[in-house]
Amino acid sequence: MIDNLLNREQAPFIFLIIFAFVFALQQGYYWIIFWRLGRYKKIQHTGGHKSVSVVICAHNEYHHLKETLPLILEQDYPDYEVLVVNHSSDDDTQYLLTNLKERYPHLSTVTISEDLNFFSGKKFPLSIGIKSAKHNLILLTDADCKPASKNWISHMQSAFTPKTEVVLGYGPYNRTTGLLNKLIRFDTAHIAIQYLSYALAGIPYMGVGRNLSYLKQVFYKNQGFISHYRIRSGDDDLFINRVSNRKNTTIMVHPESYTMSDPKQTFGKWITQKKRHLSTSNLYKFKHKLLLGLYSFSLVAFYLLLVILLALNWSPVPVLGLFLLRMAVQYIVLAKCMQRLNEKDLIAFLPVYELMLLTFNIGILISNIIRKPTRWK
């Protein structure tokens, strides 16, 4: 009986020790990894101009392309082509492309009239587009993305040095009203903070196809998407996870280098999109899965232990002290990163958005285990 009493009295202390350890682990991620983006100085445009091929895949994207494509075709850049792969569209995409080619001689098109898709999802048309591109420097975006300025191409290509083979950009969503918009934008910014900070730390692990650039020779050298062709997603993150390293990868976060798009309008569509994105993470390299997994684990463990310790009502002062200290660090590190990504309006409710997003992600991961997503778009 005495032993049981001692165990019950020791349990809160043990929880507190674990809580402190998790807190320390989180601080390591904030200051060693994420702070790299917070203190990052934007690379200034060098003035050099490399020949660029902008590659866009489109399947029934007429309504998007008629708005986004002219903005891409009218970039303030001297030497580039825009190559659109029209993948089995049955809308007016081909008609639009034919008309635009008369006005813009640097527009090229590839039409895939039949779906000979031995790759899954977007990978087959994207492979065709990259192989058909005239230039070695490939710049990728989606049909629904608008460049944030006429200097998008100029800034993205300026990040390339003789040693650079991969440049990771940022593709935020347009700002509107409502909680869903803020959650989507916080999620997008939080993901960007991670992959951009890891790249600055010499551990690049992913990029996003809305704004991503690499050399065609890298695509050929690594046999394109062959290693994961059976997976519908992953034309961006799995490919970058395979080919990028500390020596060949850099980032570009100048506000004029962004590509903007509209977020999903319902929670259901957003959840479906996130399920597809999260389904590829288990195929990352082990070191990336370990680092990302530890961060997610520490986040879940921190909030879980916080609730347990407060429920036990045992010495709440150190518990609340660590909680408030972590929140202060959030507002220093993550807020600085949000400012760097031009997402200042998300700073005020950082902890609230974090907790809501954590809840969604746990549910999505459980759902993906039960039923894997089957569509790429």
Token code pair at residue 207 = 């990029």
Closest listed residue to residue 286, CA positions, set 166, 200, 226, 203: 203
pLDDT of 263-279, one tens digit each? Answer: 988 988 888 878 777 77
**Per-residue pLDDT at 5 exceeds 50:** no
pTM exceeding 0.85? yes
Segment 243-261 mean pLDDT: 96
| Confidence band, pLDDT 50/70/90 cuts, at residue 43 | low
In this prediction, what percent of the chain has a pLDDT beyond 90?
73
Tokens read off for 247: 């020596």
Per-residue pLDDT for 128 more than 70?
Answer: yes
Across the chain, mean pLDDT equals 89
Q: Looking at residue 297, what is its pLDDT?
A: 94
The mean pLDDT value for 178-191 works out to 95
91 pLDDT higher than 60: yes
Percent of the chain with pLDDT over 70: 90
More confident residue, 68 or 265: 68
Assess whether pLDDT exceeds 80 at residue 108. Answer: yes
pLDDT band at 41 (very low <50, low <70, confident <90, very high): confident
Q: Between β-strands 107-112 and 146-147, what pairing exists: parallel, antiparallel or unpaired? A: unpaired
At 109, the amino acid letter reads T
Cβ atoms < 10 Å from Cβ of 217: 12
Q: What are phi and psi of 214, to 5 degrees?
A: -155, 170
Higher pLDDT, 228 or 181: 181
Question: What is the per-residue pLDDT across 197-212, written as a single tens digit (0 to 9) for each?
Answer: 999 999 999 999 999 9
Mean pLDDT of the 306-329 span:
91
Higher pLDDT, 153 or 264: 153
Statement: residue 371 has pLDDT above 70: no
CA distance readout (Å), 328 to 149, 176, 263, 298, 350 = 34, 28, 30, 17, 11
- The pairing of strands 259-260 and 146-147 is antiparallel
Q: With bands split at pLDDT 50, 70 and 90, how would you rate the model's confidence at 254?
A: very high
Cα gap 370→364, rounded to integer Å? 10
Q: Residue 83 CA to chain centroid, in angstroms?
A: 23
Question: What pLDDT is attached to residue 376?
Answer: 41
Give 7's pLDDT tier (boundaries 50, 70, 90): low
Q: For the ranges 49-53, 72-76, 190-194, 273-277, which has the lowest average pLDDT? A: 273-277
Overall average pLDDT of the 351-358 stretch = 93
Q: pLDDT digits over 12-22, tens only? A: 788 899 999 99
pLDDT at 13: 83
Name all domains of the chain by residue range, CATH numbers in brackets. 52-265 (3.90.550.10)
Amino acid 8: pLDDT? 57
Of 69-83, 219-233, 264-278, which has the strongest mean pLDDT? 69-83
Contact 125, 225 (CB under 8 A): no
- Which candidate, 288, 183, 175, places its Cα nearest to that of 237? 288
Dist CA 243 CA 252 (whole Å): 18
